[in-house]
Chains A and B, each alone.
Chain A
Amino acid sequence: MKKILRTISLIVMCALLMCSFASCEKAGTELSDLMIIQGIGIDINSKGFKVTVEILNNEQSGSPSGDSSAENKTKIYTATGESVAAALMQLTTKSGNKPFYAQNRVIVIGETTAQKNLADILDFFQRNYDSRASQLLCIAKGGKAEDVIRARLLNDTVKSKILEKMLEESYRQSLVPRVRIIDAVNAMKDDTSFVCLPAVKVQENGENQDFVIDGCALFDKDETFTMYLASGDAEGLAFLRNEINEGFLSADLPNGNKATFVIVKGKTHYKISKENGVLHYKLTVDISCDLEEVGGAQYFSTDDDFMEIIKSAAGAAVAKKAENAIVVLQSEHGGDAVRYGRRLMLMNTKEYELLKNDWENAFKNAVTSITVNVTIRRIGEETFHSKKK
């Protein structure tokens, strides 16, 4: 009898534990009672912070008939408060539901908001238990974050999901850095690194609008916005930061034509030395690419010539992008978004300790030399021998 009682008690207790775990993230809360946030835009106005959120329209999303024409898939709410947290909490009074941040995909920061301290803006997202460290960050270039969250895209879809995919894909194509909350906090807490956020614009497209990823925004050591990096320079940043994933590369050939490559993989190696009191960063970029398209290939006399010329053209294109990027970063409003300081700390701690208090000058005076080793993996179906007419 005692054994039976003990077994029953164990089963009851285990069932209780399982039930506690089986009630989603918010115990005792219906899914439709949650405000499942997909994207958050943060602007400032005279009253403080204004947040614009895109939330899933639970009733429509959960429709058993799958009828997607009745209502939009998402709803947009705005609220204002003295802080980001206060503004987000105000959302409850607008929607009647509790905000749920665990599914949030992107945080868009308005250009004016970026003049404020980035660490303060992100503090809520670091501290909140629901909020995930992998949320992506970007800045609304030349406008408000609200405009991005409210953009009229062609399809009725979750706009934040599209923006998230665009940011991820841009990173995969080595066009802009991927900045999650983790990356931003790490750069802010580093004594020498500058935060660099992808910049997104809303562009008119007839009656609709599109998102465009347009370079990135640089934040100084006070964590405030300082300048934009144009798209080309942001691409160069990927080579400087050893963040080459994939991507396209366009190169000028000596015959005046263009060659286009797909980067398959790449890696940047660093050597740091100090010569005449100046830091020298010797970067070796190894990239492997496929030739996608080439103009005027019929003019090359041999396969070897052809390969040598396209390799050298690809290398020159990479070097140019990286050099342009470093020139911009070493300009008046620029800063160490390349994380040169961090690399110095890991490779030569003693030298880093000597320079870290005057890193701004050390970085701006640092000399960068770039060597690019290109490996052509494939050249496509059409070879040199199949001469064009």
Chain B
Amino acid sequence: MNKSRVSAPQFFSLLYLSVLSSIFMYISSPEISISRTDSLLRPLVFIVVSIVAAIPVFVLHKMVDKEKKMGKKAVIKDNVFFKIISLMYAIVWVTGILRTLARFDLFASSELFPGNDMTLFIMALVTVCGLLSLLGLGALSRAAIIFTVIVVGVTGFVMISLWGDVDFLNFTPLFENGVGSFIRDSLLFCVQAFEIGTLILFLPGIKGKVIKSFIFWAVLSGVTFSVILFFTVGTLGVFADTQLFPTYTAVTLAKFGLLERMDALETAIWILCVVEKISLYFLAVINCIKTVFPKVSKKGTCVILILVVSIVLGIISGDLEKFGFVSYSPLTIGLYAVAVIVLPVVLIIYFKKVKPYEENFENN
């Protein structure tokens, strides 16, 4: 079995779990209120922005694919340009790992085990994700498709059980603070999903109708976000803005008959999503580092990465201001712009101008 080749539904299941973890661990900030009805519409903007933003990636993929069909392959080894690009991608994904794990650390140390030092727990999580990434994209994606069924089922059940707690007086008039404010908030919401950038790395290994699956992924993610936000706003109202993790607070209200404390169930699901997301980022970093330093083994990169991430998280963990830097909105915008738009556009220009192809004798 080829470890790196996966079907489109498998890969996009992985991406779906990855973006879902962002909404589960969505942190209230003074910049973006989650308690307004506008937040239900932000995912619609997310759908449009994600599809538009991914165009350069797909154009690049199509460009390389076209040459491939003509019996040529792109030459990327021992090229400084590609090494710089790969290094930049590696930095983006490492920041993604730190950002996600710092949030998870904050979540675990405040909601799951308040007052406890979660360093050991987070280090264990980093190690598990690192080791999982060594299993390859195939294993991660195949697991993701099973996890997606579980995640959607459980989340759907928990959300439906919140129906009785929805108070329509908690909603607000649309565009209360103006359309401009809505667009700004929506764009800030969209840039959370910079894992779209991993497409450029993994697209060559995905079988099937990629564009169709991607659009389906964007729509499904947007609809899921809207549903989760509907229940968050409907059950909590303005109270959501006073809570560190509003989605979690909403889930703590869920009960169905004798079943109470469904937050424990939902938390388990969230950890699944986080594990998949971090493993995907690990895999992306390892692939990028392999391009920069071809002689370094994947396992070696993985071990170093585990150590670096653990040390940095140890530093961030005890200081909310340092955490603030990792979650800083301009940084998130920058990561999204670099990973999803800038680097793919640079690559398109490079491939158009330089045409670094050679005959692919393996195919001939």
Q: Give the shortest distance, in Å, between B303 (CB) and chain A (any CB).
A: 11
Residues of A8-22 whose CB lies within 8 A of B: 9-10, 13-14, 16-17, 20-21
Q: Which of A140-148, A181-189, A206-214 contacts B (4 or more CB under 8 A)?
A: A181-189
Which A residues are in CB contact (< 8 Å) with B4?
none
Q: Give the shortest distance, in Å, between A341 (CB) and chain B (any CB).
A: 10
Which A residues are in CB contact (< 8 Å) with B170?
186
B127 at interface, CB cutoff 8 A: yes
A169 to B288, CA, bound (A): 61
Known A9-B127, A13-B131; judge A133-B252 contact (CB<8 A). yes
A25 to B108, CA, bound (A): 11
Which B residues are in CB contact (< 8 Å) with A1?
none
B253 at interface, CB cutoff 8 A: yes
Contact A349 B128 (CB under 8 A): no
B114 at interface, CB cutoff 8 A: yes
Contact B253 A134 (CB under 8 A): yes
Contact B110 A349 (CB under 8 A): no
Contact B252 A129 (CB under 8 A): no
Which A residues are in CB contact (< 8 Å) with B363?
none
On chain B, which size bracket covers the interface?
A: 35 or more
Residues of B15-35 whose CB lies within 8 A of A: none
Q: Give the shortest distance, in Å, between B266 (CB) and chain A (any CB).
A: 13
Contact B238 A17 (CB under 8 A): no
- Give the residue name and chain of the A residue nearest to B117 (CB): A27
Q: Give the shortest distance, in Å, between A357 (CB) and chain B (any CB).
A: 16
B2 at interface, CB cutoff 8 A: no
A324 at interface, CB cutoff 8 A: no
- Give the residue name and chain of the B residue nearest to A14 (CB): B128
Which A residues are in CB contact (< 8 Å) with B249?
133
Residues of B92-123 whose CB lies within 8 A of A: 110-116, 120-121
> Which of A20, A126, A132, A339 is within 8 Å of B242, CB to CB?
A126
A20 to B253, CA, bound (A): 24
A150 at interface, CB cutoff 8 A: no
A278 to B172, CA, bound (A): 24
B interface, over-half SS: helix
- Give the residue name and chain of the B residue nearest to A343 (CB): B169
A14 to B272, CA, bound (A): 12
A160 to B128, CA, bound (A): 44
CB contacts between A and B, total, < 8 Å: 77
B125 at interface, CB cutoff 8 A: yes
Contact A27 B252 (CB under 8 A): no
Which B residues are in CB contact (< 8 Å) with A13?
124, 127-128, 131
Q: Give the shortest distance, in Å, between A239 (CB) and chain B (any CB).
A: 16
> Which of B128, B168, B169, B253 is within 8 Å of A133, CB to CB?
B253
Known A186-B170, A342-B169; judge A133-B239 contact (CB<8 A). yes
Q: Give the shortest distance, in Å, between A4 (CB) and chain B (any CB).
A: 13
A19 to B169, CA, bound (A): 42
Contact B131 A17 (CB under 8 A): no
A59 at interface, CB cutoff 8 A: no
- Give the residue name and chain of the A residue nearest to B111 (CB): A129
Contact A9 B124 (CB under 8 A): no
- Could you jot down 27 A-B contacts, CB within 8 Å? A6-B131, A10-B131, A13-B131, A14-B128, A16-B124, A17-B124, A17-B271, A20-B120, A21-B112, A21-B268, A26-B116, A27-B113, A126-B242, A129-B111, A133-B239, A133-B252, A133-B253, A134-B252, A182-B235, A182-B236, A182-B253, A189-B238, A190-B238, A346-B168, A346-B171, A346-B172, A349-B173
| A contacts, CB < 8 Å to B | 6, 9-10, 13-14, 16-17, 20-21, 25-27, 126, 129-130, 132-134, 181-182, 185-186, 189-190, 339, 342-343, 345-346, 349
| B contacts, CB < 8 Å to A | 110-116, 120-121, 124-125, 127-128, 131-132, 134, 168-173, 176, 235-239, 242-243, 249, 252-253, 268, 271
Apart from A6-B134, A17-B128, A185-B239: 6 A-B pairs, beta carbons within 8 A? A9-B131, A17-B125, A129-B111, A132-B252, A133-B249, A182-B236
